[in-house]
Amino acid sequence: MVRKVIIIGSGPAGLTAAIYTARANLEPLVFEGLQPGGQLTITTDVENFPGFPEGIMGPELMDNMRKQAQRFGAETHFANVDRVDLSQRPFTVEAGGKEYQAETLIISTGATARLLGLDSESKLMGFGVSACATCDGFFYKDKEILVVGGGDSALEEAIYLTKFASKVTLVHRRDELRGSKIMQSRALNHPKIDVAWNSVITEFLGDPAAGGLTGVIMRDTVTNETREVKTDGVFLAIGHQPNSDLFKGQLKTDAAGYIVTEADSTRTSVEGVFAAGDIQDTKYRQAVTAAGSGCAAAIEVEKYLEAQEG
């Protein structure tokens, strides 16, 4: 069976594309990936998505979007896409050991938290190292923790984590923060927040099988001296990177890995393949802009299929 459209990813972009393509009777199949609902499922209140005057919880907003897509007949699978072949039509998508084919693809694989890239970091992920304050903050009641980063999201996480932790130290590689003035003064004036200036983590210490993280090695970026710092937890807040590895060598991406789309369009470098949301957005990266581009991709798919049949 060759589908009319397969959507890869189930954040605001993918699910909006699913709502539109389902309503256009294109019977979309959505691969949800390992984070069904996307990035908003790891946040609490979303205050800026239009239509919710009191705000809405991220996971609830995404459950609603999924239900809305399913109501119009979108099929959703909790599976990760492991491989795609864009070299011939119909396109092939491999997920959960099975192959699926479609005339068009909408790629909305979004972004995930950037990591430092150390072996010891991946070993201790979930054992004291975290990229999600709202998921894991709870486990650090009265503990001393580090937050890596210097932008608004790092400052926000640091402030959020003071609800649990007894002390939060921001680890920042420069001697001044990047975040907005308001967030800076809120964080710097907080009695529980400290800053380790000009510092980078070069190693995470501890054994996942024996209690997890115990500390880190930090290097001073000015003097190059290293020191060991004891800590119960490290939260990373150093930005996000696009999930485009799957398409390497098959679609045009920019130097940072974002899929390149044509101006005023969601068309990629391969005809019939469209990209929406954070995966192609180097500028806005908001839920509502992701949803908007998901809508655009759906309409472009519909037009494209009509022209093919035409």
Partner 1 sequence: MGELTLQITDDNFESEVLQSDVPVLLDFWAEWCGPCRVIAPVVEEIAGDYNGKAKVGKVNVDHTPGVAAKYGIRSIPTLLIFSKGNVHKQIVGAVPKGQITDVLDELIG
Ligand X SMILES: Cc1cc2nc3c(=O)[nH]c(=O)nc-3n(C[C@H](O)[C@H](O)[C@H](O)COP(=O)(O)OP(=O)(O)OC[C@H]3O[C@@H](n4cnc5c(N)ncnc54)[C@H](O)[C@@H]3O)c2cc1C
Q: Establish whether the linkage from the previous residue to 12 is cis, with ω within 30° of 0.
A: no
At 34, list the tokens: 């390992």
3-state DSSP assignment of residue 9: coil
241 interacts with partner 1 by CB under 8 A? no
Is 135 an annotated catalytic residue? yes
Is 295 an annotated catalytic residue? no
Helices within the chain (DSSP H only): 12-23, 58-71, 119-124, 133-136, 152-161, 181-188, 287-309
45 interacts with partner 1 by CB under 8 A? no
Q: Binding to partner 1 (CB under 8 A): which residues in 106-145?
A: 125-128, 130, 132, 134-136, 138-140
- Measured distance CA(31)–CA(41) in Å, rounded: 16
Instruction: Indicate which single residue of 12, 58, 242, 294 sits in contact with partner 1 (rule: CB under 8 A).
Output: 58
Is 85 an annotated catalytic residue? no
The residue range among 23-31, 77-85, 147-155, 273-281 that interacts with partner 1, by the rule CB under 8 A, is 77-85
Residue 244 interacts with, from partner 1, ligand X, none (CB under 5-8 Å by kind): none
Contacts of 141 (CB under 8 A, 6+ apart): 164, 165
Q: Which of 85, 132, 152, 220 is catalytic?
A: 132
Ramachandran region, residue 303 (left: φ > 0; alpha: ψ -120 to 50; beta: rest): alpha
Instruction: Indicate which single residue of 12, 28, 206, 233 sits in contact with ligand X (rule: CB under 6 A).
Output: 12
- Measured distance CA(42)–CA(152) in Å, rounded: 17
Q: Binding to ligand X (CB under 6 A): which residues in 259-278?
A: 277-278
Residue 127 interacts with, from partner 1, ligand X, none (CB under 5-8 Å by kind): partner 1
From residue 160, alpha-carbon distances to 32, 49, 164, 200, 292 in Å are 29, 21, 8, 22, 29
Q: Which is nearer to ligand X, 231 or 243 (CB)?
A: 243
Q: Which of 63, 85, 119, 136 is catalytic?
A: 136
Question: Are 17 and 105 a contacting pair, CB within 8 Å?
Answer: no
Token pair 């938290």 in the structure block, residue: 113
Instruction: Indicate which single residue of 36, 150, 242, 277 sits in contact with partner 1 (rule: CB under 8 A).
Output: 36
**Catalytic (active-site) positions:** 132, 135-136
Provide the binding-site residues for ligand X, judged by CB under 6 A.
8-14, 31-36, 38-40, 42-43, 46, 48, 80-81, 108-111, 243, 246, 277-279, 285-288, 290
Residue ranges in contact with partner 1 by CB under 8 A: 34-37, 40-44, 58-59, 62-63, 78-80, 96, 125-128, 130, 132, 134-136, 138-140, 211-212, 233
